[in-house]
Amino acid sequence: MESSQDFQALRDAIQPALVTVTRSSNALANEDLPFQRTVHASVDRELDDTTSRMLRVATDLLKSAGKVTGQKTHVLEDADDVDIRWRSIVDVIDTLLEKADTCLDEYTGLIKRKDAPATDPARNIAKRPKPMHDKLDYSLKRANILKPQNAFEKQPDNLESESRPWKPILTKKPHAQISLDQSLTTFKDEEDNTQYQHPYEHEIVNLQYPSHVYESREPIKYLPIETTKAIWVDTYEGVLEMLEELKKATEIAIDLEHHDFRSYAGLLSLMQISTREKDWIVDTLVPWRHKLEVLNEVFADPKILKVLHGAFMDIIWLQRDLGLYVVGLFDTHHASDVLLYSGRSLAFLLKKFVDFDADKKYQLADWRIRPLPDEMFYYARSDTHFLLYIYDMLRNELLDPSAPQHPDGNPMDRVIQKSKDVSLQRYEHPGFNPETGLGNRGWYNTLAKSSALLSGEQFSVYKAVWAWRDKFARREDESPGFIMTQQMILDIACIIPADKKALWSLLGANARQLKDHLNDLFTVIQEAKKEGANGPTLMQFLRDGYGTPVGKVEPTVKADVDARSIEELKSTHSQLWGGVPLSSAWDASSKNVFAEGIVSIPLFAHMVEDMSITEGAPAEAEKAPPPPPKAEPVEEDRGFTLKSGTSRKRKASDDKEEEQQAQDSDIEMEEAAEPASTDGNSAAASESEEVHVDQDEEADDPYKQAREEKKARKAAKKAAKLAAKQAQEGEGDEEEEIFDYSKADSVLRNSNGMEEENRGKKGKGKKGKKPFDPYAFKSQNAPSGERQMNFERAGRSATFKK
């Protein structure tokens, strides 16, 4: 519509219709649709027609919006596709709404329109600083190109690796001390698998490094990288020319670039080689790549030092793809480790010795891209261009007497030994045990670190899908991660989809290559579910140790040979404490000191026994047996009540009673002390007498009678006081007067009436009657309220001082 009036008319016609449809659809619940379809056949047909029409309209709208936003859309075949494709639908709509908001902001002037650049940005690349941490473009990370391995003259056989061990692919063995046939022998590894020996194992173990490695010399400065160019080698003639140059060098630097996302075993995509004067970039994805084996004339030459950084995987890739073996390796990673550098990476060494900032984002780039972009070409060249100069600096530090020493030897020998161990690595076929999950492509380590608790059926489905993915990846020469991620396998195992459409919704957009094999995968899931119904769960599998590696069986102890007891294996002499006993309980010399008798130390002096023995008594006199313990009187268990309702201030009568009780107790104490003061030994004598008298004579004890008399006098005094108090309270009690409400003053109009009465009585010398206050009196028996607490006040707190 060109004019705003036409748009207004169209909106006025559409909006009421949309409101009516929305209200009608909201009036009918979604749960009632199956019922309406069953009852009314016409409703069933109309709903199907309406659903198909709405799906077609939604598909057309998504396609139209996808063209604007640049996103890929899908055809919605039924209502379930809306749920399955919901994320992609939301992405398209959100992008469209963002573009609409941006256009509205530009139209209203909230933001300025983006103008086209006035100059070509490509011309100012050198002037702009290169960002060091920006993200790699997706086209460079996951390039959509044809598989270069399909054009190889000798393609790897991924299916063969399941049945036979990997055999080295080299056909010649330059600089050999043992022939190739003698080197290619087999042996049994720790898991009892047959493997081939390293072809250059004898040469590497007995290698004597060149003498210049142990000589400290002035580092040779590298050539400026801006004024020199690297040579691109993609022909066999170029390889031979490079080989002649390399034979003249005493040290060469090597680095590799690898790709493993679109290949099952991986692809060696690029090789960088540098000398002191030249740099070469070798294309290792050419169809005749197996001919690069000719480089063993330099790589296996013990007189030429090969400098690499972190060569653990490089050694493996060279063996697997090109049949190349490195003899005479110097790994700068282990050199930085021996020298205790704070960083071990190549980027750290480049910054430390060359002050060169390497853009390491290209490590994740897809190195299969041809032709190679300039940025990636520059990055590949910089890895080896400065490496020989870094080697010179590290060599001098290793030979420095002040270098960190170690019991295993001097620093240089330690680096050489570690480099030899790296070059002795062997490539083995990737694989795993389907039952135990062990292997470099197995699932055992993944599930052992996972927090998922899988049932018997889920665990069986997980193993079956993992094995199916591995076979499919071998057949298609794809990495298992490209076919299906580990999270996808776990989701399938946890959910166990009931139909194929639910399974397809779990695979995601990256698994579109599985569309033709969906039936096979669904069949595998259903069969594994049946097999796992009675199988072990994941926790049972891990607890029972099914996944432990199967090693060599240790010989069992023969039946006729008795196993040594644990007591025989114990040492009587501690290597730490020597002969010093750790405890007196373990010291034999400290035991049985009082074996003949037990000497008991009295806790108090027996005064009674000592005083009862006289000087004239014979030594053989037997001691009288001690009297039985005197039974203490059992007091009657009486209840007690808490005093409530008493005044906070004590009355005078209570004070007098307490004074009288205190006087009585003083008198008792004085009377008890008088006999003791007259005769100092009377108490001791009385106790000695009690030993020889019977229980019947205890009643004649004068002291006991005196105490009983005092208690009686005290009880009589208390009884007299209590009787006097009760009599006084009885006299004071009066009959309670009944309150007459009819004669009482008005409470509501009390103030006015009292004012008039007081005014009328002024000048007569009489006071008016006090008005009735209903809140003035309190109950006599009610307890008094709690006094006000002294809460903490604001201000400076006090400090106690001495």
pLDDT at position 464: 96
Measured between alpha carbons, how far is 100 from 69 in angstroms, rounded to an integer? Answer: 11
Query: pLDDT tens, 405-461?
Result: 778 789 999 999 999 999 999 999 998 988 999 888 999 999 988 888 899 999 999
Q: Are 177 and 203 in contact (CB under 8 A)?
A: yes
Edge-to-edge strand order for the sheet containing 267-274? 231-233, 279-283, 267-274, 251-259, 305-308, 329-331
Measured between alpha carbons, how far is 266 from 258 in angstroms, rounded to an integer? Answer: 7
Closest CA to 437 of 464, 471, 472, 406: 464
pLDDT at position 42: 85
Average confidence (pLDDT) over 679-708: 54
Average confidence (pLDDT) over 93-110: 75
pLDDT at position 251: 97
- Among the ranges given (188-192, 234-238, 570-574, 607-611), the one the predictor scored with the smallest mean pLDDT: 607-611
Beta-bridge partners for 268: 258
DSSP 396-411: HHHHSTTSPPBTTB-H
Q: Which residues, 6+ apart, have CB-to-CB distance to 420 below 8 Å?
A: 204, 205, 207, 329
**Radius of gyration over every alpha carbon of the chain, rounded to an integer in angstroms:** 52
Which CB contacts under 8 angstroms, 24+ apart, belong to 653-662? 653/725, 657/721, 660/717, 660/721
Percent of residues, the chain, with pLDDT higher than 90: 39
- Among the ranges given (328-342, 430-444, 567-581, 673-687), the one the predictor scored with the smallest mean pLDDT: 673-687
The predicted model scores a pTM of: 0.56
pLDDT at position 510: 64
- Among the ranges given (350-364, 452-466, 609-623), the one the predictor scored with the smallest mean pLDDT: 609-623
The SS3 of residue 362 is helix
Measured between alpha carbons, how far is 666 from 676 in angstroms, rounded to an integer? Answer: 16
Q: Which residues, 6+ apart, have CB-to-CB distance to 439 below 8 Å?
A: 430, 431, 432, 433
User: In the chain, how long is the greatest CA-to-CA distance?
Assistant: 149
Which pLDDT band holds residue 698 (cuts at 50, 70, 90)? very low
pLDDT at position 571: 62
pLDDT at position 678: 45
pLDDT at position 98: 78
Closest CA to 276 of 307, 321, 297, 316: 307
Measured between alpha carbons, how far is 339 from 415 in angstroms, rounded to an integer? Answer: 10
pLDDT at position 362: 86
Secondary structure letter of residue 768 according to DSSP: P
pLDDT at position 32: 78
Q: Are 233 and 285 in contact (CB under 8 A)?
A: no
- Among the ranges given (289-293, 683-687, 706-710), the one the predictor scored with the smallest mean pLDDT: 683-687
Q: Residue 193: how many CB atoms within 10 A of its CB?
A: 13
Average confidence (pLDDT) over 171-188: 94
Measured between alpha carbons, how far is 284 from 256 in angstroms, rounded to an integer? Answer: 10
Percent of residues, the chain, with pLDDT higher than 70: 67
Measured between alpha carbons, how far is 238 from 231 in angstroms, rounded to an integer? Answer: 9
Q: Across 123-127, 152-156, 226-230, 267-271, which has the greatest mean pLDDT?
A: 267-271
